[in-house]
Structure 1
Amino acid sequence: MVHLVLYQPEIPQNTGNAARTAAALGFPLHLIRPLGFRLNDPRLRRAGLDYWPHVDLRVHEAWEAFLQALPPGARVWAFSARAQRGLYEVRFQEGDHLLFGPETRGLPPEVLARLPGVRIPMPGPVRSLNLAVALGVAAYEAYRQLRG
């Protein structure tokens, strides 16, 4: 399986939609604190609809706690509009972690410096995609490669 990871997400509706995608694919969803909302936020629950029982949700207290929880040899792909490697150049493997930053600022430079970066192609005038949309695009590409 592939792991979906949100670093300090800020908008509950995006996280709820990410949870729906995780449930649809059977991928775990990791949230790295601090969060911009409470886990019992009605907006989060509404966006995830009645799929929450099917979400393998893992909450990490901080970035370092997430890193410590990674199994040996785990690959973490940092998604960023500034990355050089395109999504379709990556060959995903079982156990990969797809990491996405907060909506208003993306992943911090110190995180991006430690990990291989991936960008989603956007040939139009848009600078970036909505977090839930970007996660969905990447998650389904990983799924296509591994199980499609």
Structure 2
Amino acid sequence: MLNIVLLEPEIPANTGNIGRTCVATGSRLHLIEPLGFRLDEKSLRRAGMDYWKDLDVTTYINYEDFLEKNPGAKLYMATTKAEKMYTQIRYEPDCYIMFGKESAGIPEEILVRHREDCVRIPMIGGIRSLNLGNSAAVILYEALRQNRFSGMETAGSLHRLEWEP
């Protein structure tokens, strides 16, 4: 099971959307405080729709608490400061993919300790970053693809409707 980690998220709608993506993919969501909202906020529930109740979510009081409660976790960090693209990593089935808060990303003092595990999504020059929910979906789905979408429905079907003119 893959894990998405949000370090100090600020916008409830982004967290709600990411929560919904986690439910749809069977991934866990980890929220590291302080949060820029309360977990019972209406906008958070709206973005996560009726899926929020099905979400496997854990909160931590700070980054150190997260590390202490997840010893040995393979952690990748999404940042515009990374040298490697997110497609250049081999994601383990139980890895953790961390994203920083919307206004500042992951603090550089954390990134420098994990330089080899930092990944970026390519963008044209002059663009600061993608939306947090979009970034999480892009990298999560690459990790899922690499793990052959294990446990997921990978094919749909169309139902032909017969009608008379």
Question: SS at 2:46's partner residue?
Answer: helix
User: How much does 1:124 deviate?
Assistant: 6.1
What are the ranges of 5 or more consecutive residues in structure 1 without an aligned counterpart?
none
1:95 partnered with 2:94: yes
The aligned residue for residue 30 of structure 1 is 30
- Structure 2 unaligned spans of 5+: 150-165
1:1-80 equivalences in 2 (<5 Å): 1-72=1-72, 74-80=73-79
Aligned residues: 147
Q: Which residue of 1 aligns with 2:85?
A: 86
Q: Does 2:103 match 1:104?
A: yes
Q: Which of structure 1's runs of 4+ aligned residues deviate more than 3 A?
A: none
TM-score (norm 1): 0.95
What one-letter code is carried by the residue in structure 2 that aligns with 1:13? A
Q: CA deviation at 1:125?
A: 4.8
Show the counterpart of 2:121: 120
Per-residue CA deviation, residues 69-117 of structure 1 (Å, 9 max, x unaligned), is: 1143x21001001100101100100111000000000110111112221
- The farther-off stretch of 123-132 and 30-39 is 123-132
Q: Deviations over 1:46-82 (max 9, x none)?
A: 000000122101101110000011143x210010011
CA distance in 1 between counterparts of 2:109 and 2:127 reads 25
| RMSD of aligned Cα (Å) | 1.1
Structure number with bigger Rg: 2
Percent identity over paired residues:
46
